[in-house]
Chains A and B, each alone.
Chain A
């Protein structure tokens, strides 16, 4: 623990952390300046940023491309929503139950999925997410089917848009810090070794399948957390949260922001959600634009926006620094 704190302070002195803290402070004072419509947009960005980072633990760090993250996200959302609607247990408990349930479902789904690699892995994750979608859709008596689960209680504290924004901001920051600690731990480094070369990792004595399963479960926990947050943010939960379109959103957020950068999905989420609102506000052709974005990313910006900044722009700044010396 002491190491972590020391590490934290050492990093604070570097420029990157300076910008990061500035951004966080800005996020905290933002409601003083802008309208609630934007605050709710940013809330959504924060939640999808968390979902993106959670997915990225699996995709960017472990090298397992999942097409079904939305399934686990929806498990978190439904768990919290249904508990709020049907039981009287404290709000905090419902917020914890979401991620835990998603983690449990993730353990089962992951157990099957890690037995296959690459495209078969991706297909399995997609299939499981569609199974989850079907359950929420068909189990009308319990989940409300395609009418969704709506009208559940919310603590008074979260009734205003601004206060729910602070709640979301706080939880997302805590989750991101936890994820950051995890990806920089020996465990996180081992996941990166698996991404780079699973066969070689096996031969340094790592049970690769088991570590992939752990990554799957941790990723599911945080996807579930994002889902729970979205449930209380929007006050309603629908089967489409588990739909592959939602999964695609998450994947594109990771790609757009940059998979090989911890904060990539955060940038990706902000840009993606901003664009989606902007474009779908003007035209009905969001899917067309989405297609164009994906084509552009894959052809020209393989490492996303964060990769573009750190490979193309940061070296320019670095050079300036060096010539100054």
Chain B
């Protein structure tokens, strides 16, 4: 479904992504793990067109999408969430989702029809699926942190993607919330038949949700395998034990 070939990106002297080759199959639940600063977010930024690569190609469903602008990449079916919460704070929770749906349905250019009741059922359905129904009239900026993360996922789902890229969707959450959210994501992705790539720096979180794990370190993919294989791999353990002294 999506392939990354020889992707490279430097910031000044720092090579954040270093000649990366990756392949993700349709409907696969994968994750990319790696310590902070490994280049995971940068990889997402390259895939979604937020940054353009120095070298390499990104192929989505057989189409070269390298260097397309973000709004076009969203339209080919790639939805993403952001590491730091990225919502529309002074709009209501409902509107946050609704506006994303307007875009997905190509009606956000409509000038003379009233938005208020448009796509109400679809919006409610997404709100329901991320568990925000009872907060739909709240201003999104006033939602609790965890709810904002849920809303982010909702927005990403609303554009009806085939591929969903989630950047540390559980960062900063309590362990209980983390378990809830990962379960929720897994359920939604399975139900909608999506392909998922999930970024996480905490190894333990991903094992519950992923079928495949890719380990990134200093801009390179150093290991790929099932969660079990990753756990057993000595090099991966060394990076984590060496770096993650929390």
Contact = CB atoms under 8 A, between A and B. Distances in A.
Given A203-B48, A203-B70, A204-B158, A186 B88 contact: no
Given A4-B114, A185-B113, A192-B91, A197 B86 contact: yes
B69 interface: yes
Which of A188, A199, A204, A208 has the most C-beta atoms of chain B within 10 angstroms of its own C-beta?
Answer: A204
Contacts of A205: 71-72, 74-75, 103-104, 159
B90 A184 contact: no
A220 to B, nearest CB: 15
B74 A203 contact: yes
A193 interface: yes
A204 B100 contact: yes
Measured as residues with beta carbon below 8 angstroms from the partner, the interface class of chain B is: 35 or more
Given A196-B89, A200-B155, A184 B114 contact: yes
Nearest to A178: B112
B91 A187 contact: no
Contacts, number: 108
A160 to B, nearest CB: 35
B107 A193 contact: no
Contact of A189 (B75, B102, B155, B159): B102
B171 to A, nearest CB: 17
Given A187-B111, A189-B108, A207 B116 contact: no
A210 B159 CA distance: 19
B113 A186 contact: yes
B222 interface: no
A319 interface: no
A204 B111 contact: no
Contact of B108 (A181, A196, A199, A206): A206
A196 B90 contact: yes
A200 B109 contact: no
Contact of B115 (A1, A188, A202, A208): A188
A187 B99 CA distance: 9
Nearest to A196: B88
Contacts of B112: 1, 4, 181-182, 185
Interface in A168-185: 181-182, 184-185
B72, B79, B112, B116 — most chain A CB neighbours (10 Å): B112
Contacts of B155: 200, 204
Interface string B76-91: 0001101000111111
B176 interface: no
A205 B160 CA distance: 11
B70 A202 contact: yes
Contacts of A184: 114-116
A204 B103 CA distance: 7
B95 to A, nearest CB: 6
Contacts of B70: 202-203
A187 B106 CA distance: 11
Interface string B171-211: 00000000000000000000000000000000000000000
Nearest to A202: B70
Top 10 closest A-B pairs, CB basis? Answer: A205-B74, A196-B88, A190-B108, A204-B100, A186-B102, A202-B70, A205-B103, A205-B75, A186-B110, A193-B99
